[in-house]
Amino acid sequence: MLKPDDNRLNYSDLLTPPAGYEVEFALGTIYTLDLEALVGVPLSLGLSEEMDRTIMDDPIYVLEGLRKSADKFAIFCEGGQIKVPRENNSIFALMENSVFEVSLANGKSFHPKLWLIKYRNEDGEALYRLLVLTRNMTFDRSWDIAIALEGQKVSEQTAKNRPLADLLQFLTRYSTNHEKVRKIHQLMSDLKYVQFDPVQKQISDFEFCPIGIDGYEKASTGVFDTFHKLIVISPFISESTIRELHEKTLTGSKYNTPERVLITRKTELHKLSPELMAEFEVYTLKDSVVDGESAISGENESDEIAQLQDIHAKLYAKSKYNHHLIYVGSANCSRNAFHGNVEFLLKLTYRKRGFQIMHLLDDLFGEDDDNPFERIEELPAKKEDESDVIEQLQKGIKQLCRSQLNATVLQEDNAYAVEITVADFHGDEAIEFTVGPLLSTATEVLQITTLINGLSMLELGHFYKIRAEKNGESIERVIKIDTTDVPEEREHEIFRSIIKDSYTFLRYIAFLLADDFLMAALENLEKQHSGFGSWDVQDSDHPVIYENMLKTAAHSPEKLEDIENMIRMIEDDSIVPPEFNQLYQTFIPHITGSKTPTSKVPSIQRSLGGGSNSP
């Protein structure tokens, strides 16, 4: 069940529709969001392709993934926890209506990590997939756990999904997009009839356990009920929470040899007293594993693989007599997780003859020679904590996100300005904030009213870069500010900034007409790297485009609608070659919005002046 060497789940595969299905709507929740990592989501949802970094760097591929799926997903994250991208990219603006920040009034964190996805096939049959995760939407390489459940609608209502639906109801108050809210309500309605299947027969039952929303607190999870044997995997811990679990140990029966195992990060061990540590078998990842890839790749911090890879999974496995429970989800073994944060756990009842909860460690630890974990029997020396100022700055940005932030676009002749207003902010007055649109280098000191002048249309949007500074130290985050009067044509301008010439336009057309998006993307990259010249519509590629459009008209006319939408989006004769436009006009009468019946194919071919061998 927990064998790191071969039981691996691929994030892209978990999101990708099953064969014959398309995504109807997907809802995700995470704590920390990396916009560059988020770009991979529409590739999986819309194009059913893996989040391969090489492909994600192809703007045409990413643009098409976003065009097909931007309206089909919503992701909720903690306010003030969006990472600043390494490079600005106008494509981020196309995800603004899919990203929503959650800032809790109690000052705690929004921390659940899950996806609920609704797929539908050509016959109209719906399939639902729930992913319960322990990782964020980042490029972090730490060790995490994920569980996937799939389900379909049944005729009788079920109350089993009510806690999941209640979490969705909680999320609706943080979405500013009415269409996304409507789709979330539709998911909630569907859940009354969805029956999820855990697949493994050893899982005899399961429960959804949200924490921190109305009606759901730590007691309802059962995590702190009494036990005989316990395994806790948690990257972050609180001494009081570990102690509370220890106090729930049962003794004095035939199961009177209690076992308690804690797997955490070495940097967290200083939070335990020596007496409490002695009550647990404590393990951490070996330094050679944590530092391994960093050591291999050298000291270059910009190298993407030069990252630490510590434990980030959260798991509670416990047994009482012959009753075994396994919890997986977002909640750390910390006070905040169970006292104020919004979290989500999946509770599994596991039954198998001869099974003992400690067998999970056999899988996780492997053979002695290959065990990536080491037992810690003495508290290590405490390392220096991160600067208190940095923690104050992080809290300052979160507090700013809890205030009332609004922005308005103002037009100034041939340029634009943004006016930002802040109300009800009661943060640290010693922190200085500077703010500017994410896609611009322009910044100003944040005040009650802040005016940022001299912006182009491409620099406008709802994402802003916020910098917090105090005592010479600073941090940066991206925050989302509801911005009114953004020009409607901004999206057209974004498309024109990417499809910026006839060469790129024809690449895009070839990509849209391709049977295999991934192969088309790789071919595009190969042509770019091989130094091929311009793709003039009159050169040797013209017959290929013509023949592909002919085939598309016969078998996939909806792709012609995609081309028409792209032409309307660009509306620039210098980008859309007149020769292509003239060719395309031939196909307009055959855009029907659905697959053309086979009986109509000959008439389409005759109207174009020939069969499939026509040049």
Q: Pick the closest to residue 17 from 112, 125, 100, 97 (CA basis).
A: 125
Q: What number of other Cβ atoms are within 10 A of residue 413's Cβ?
A: 5
Tell me the sheet residues that pair with 205: 349
**What is the reported pTM?**
0.87
Confidence band (pLDDT; 50, 70, 90) for 277? very high
Query: What does the buried/exposed string (b/e) look like for 455-467 if buried means 16 or more CB atoms within 10 Å of the residue's CB?
Result: bebbbbbbbbbbb
Task: Look up residue 137 and give its DSSP letter.
Answer: B
Which amino acid appears at position 227 of this protein?
F
Tell me the sheet residues that pair with 420: 407, 450
Q: Which domains does the chain have, with CATH numbers?
A: 11-195 (3.30.870), 208-295+308-376 (3.30.870.10), 400-487 (2.60.40), 499-607 (no CATH)
Side by side, the strands of the sheet bearing 33-34 are 33-34, 82-83, 473-480, 463-470, 432-437, 444-445
CA distance 194 to 593: 31
Task: Please list the helix, strand and coil fractions of the chain in percent, rounded to the nearest 5, in that order.
Answer: 35, 25, 40
Furthest-apart CA pair in the chain: how many Å? 90
Length of the chain: 615
Q: Read off the pLDDT of residues 497-518 as tens digits, 9 standing for 90 and up.
A: 888 888 888 888 887 887 655 4
Q: Read off the pLDDT of residues 104-143 as tens digits, 9 standing for 90 and up.
A: 988 899 999 999 999 999 999 999 999 999 999 988 889 9
Q: Let me know: does 357 contact 376? Beta carbons within 8 Å.
A: no
Q: Read off the pLDDT of residues 160-193 as tens digits, 9 standing for 90 and up.
A: 999 999 999 999 999 989 999 999 999 999 999 9
Secondary structure (H, E, C), 311-327: ECCCEEEEEECCEEEEE
Element (H, E) at 28: strand 21-29
Q: What number of other Cβ atoms are within 10 A of residue 287's Cβ?
A: 11
Q: Read off the pLDDT of residues 362-405 as tens digits, 9 standing for 90 and up.
A: 989 987 778 999 999 988 877 766 678 999 999 999 999 999 99
- End-to-end C-alpha distance for the chain, whole angstroms: 57
User: HSE (CB half, 13 Å, CA atoms) of 454?
Assistant: 5
